[in-house]
């Protein structure tokens, strides 16, 4: 059984066109993500799956490996499914979906995700969360919240503050981190599932799995993560990376 990290990276972005090639402290964003993925122990390979030759050339220029995939994929998971096919991965292999705009994440978190799949054949999909105590951040629709059961299986993901703390007090939330681990067999099945009502409403593809009855297991982390969705985010990441 192999464990492969695949980083989906597309050039087009409504808020930040050309984002994977944006420079962070003089280095392309996609290079930061790729080099962070290389720090993960026990991976059998790291690949970028892209729809743009400029991104592929950039990755290869710093010694990385990249695959050209179709331009019409509606989601990163669809792009990963095509990449898994191009790499001839076996159904039981594990694919880690590391977002192409995530230059900062704990490498050991990736190992924790794949370990859940490796030890339990009944698990098909795993994703991380981090505790969030700032109500203002929880109210931000770009921050996805999740609630889960006592066995660590997701109940729902939402852009709204979740749960609603009726009696006030000291509310806490869990922020979803957009990294996923799947078995290849499930990944290829997932991308052929129909879009459900809640996914269409929230525009969160992980809800598709829940709506079709597939459990999504949760791993909690307290490590730092940073995503780049806008030029302002890029500046904030630069400030973070400059810290001693």
- Output the CA–CA distances (angstroms, integers) from residue 228 to 9, 20, 56, 92, in the order listed: 12, 9, 19, 32
What confidence category does residue 14 fall into, taking pLDDT thresholds of 50, 70 and 90? low
Q: What is the pLDDT of residues 87-108, one digit of tens each?
A: 999 999 999 999 989 999 999 9
Q: What is the pLDDT of residues 190-232, one digit of tens each?
A: 989 998 899 999 999 999 999 999 999 999 998 878 888 888 8
- pLDDT of 171: 87
Q: Is the pLDDT of residue 24 over 70?
A: yes
Q: Which domains does the chain have, with CATH numbers?
A: 3-242 (3.90.550.10)
Task: Please give the sequence-ordered ranges of beta strands (E in DSSP) within the chain, or none if there are none.
Answer: 3-9, 23-24, 27-28, 45-50, 66-68, 94-98, 125-132, 145-148, 154-158, 173-176, 179-183, 217-220
Q: Is the pLDDT of residue 29 over 80?
A: yes
Output 166-170 pairs: Cβ under 8 A, ≥24 positions apart.
170/133
Q: What is the pLDDT of residues 112-138, one digit of tens each?
A: 999 999 888 889 999 999 999 888 889
Residue with tokens 């500046």: 235
What confidence category does residue 76 fall into, taking pLDDT thresholds of 50, 70 and 90? confident
Q: What is the pLDDT of residues 135-169, one digit of tens each?
A: 888 999 989 999 999 999 999 999 999 999 988 77
Residue-wise DSSP of 139-179: T-TTS-EEEE-TTSBEEEEESS-SS--TT-SS--EEEEPSE
Closest CA to 108 of 42, 31, 176: 42
């Amino acid at each position: 059984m192999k464990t492969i990290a695949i980083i989906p990276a597309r050039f087009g972005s409504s808020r930040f066109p050309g984002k994977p090639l944006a420079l962070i402290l003089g280095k392309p964003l996609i290079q930061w993500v790729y080099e962070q993925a290389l720090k993960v122990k026990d991976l059998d390979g790291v690949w970028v799956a892209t729809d743009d030759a400029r991104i592929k050339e950039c990755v290869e220029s710093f010694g990385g490996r990249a695959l050209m995939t179709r331009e019409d994929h509606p989601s990163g998971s669809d792009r990963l499914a095509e990449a898994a096919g191009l790499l001839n991965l076996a159904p039981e292999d594990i694919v880690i979906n590391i977002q192409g705009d995530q230059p900062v994440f704990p490498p050991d978190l990736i190992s924790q995700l794949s370990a859940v799949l490796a030890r339990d054949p009944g698990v098909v999909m795993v994703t991380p969360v981090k505790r969030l105590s700032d109500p203002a951040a929880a109210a931000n629709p770009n921050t996805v919240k999740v609630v889960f059961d006592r066995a660590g299986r997701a109940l729902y993901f939402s852009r709204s503050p979740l749960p609603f703390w009726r009696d006030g007090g000291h509310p806490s939330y869990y922020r979803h981190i957009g990294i996923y681990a799947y078995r290849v067999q499930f990944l290829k099945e997932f991308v052929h599932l129909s879009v459900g009502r809640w996914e269409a409403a929230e525009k969160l593809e992980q809800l598709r799995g829940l709506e079709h009855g597939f459990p999504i297991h949760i791993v909690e982390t307290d490590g730092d993560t940073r995503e780049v969705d806008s030029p302002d985010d890029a500046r904030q990441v630069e400030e973070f990376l400059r810290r001693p």
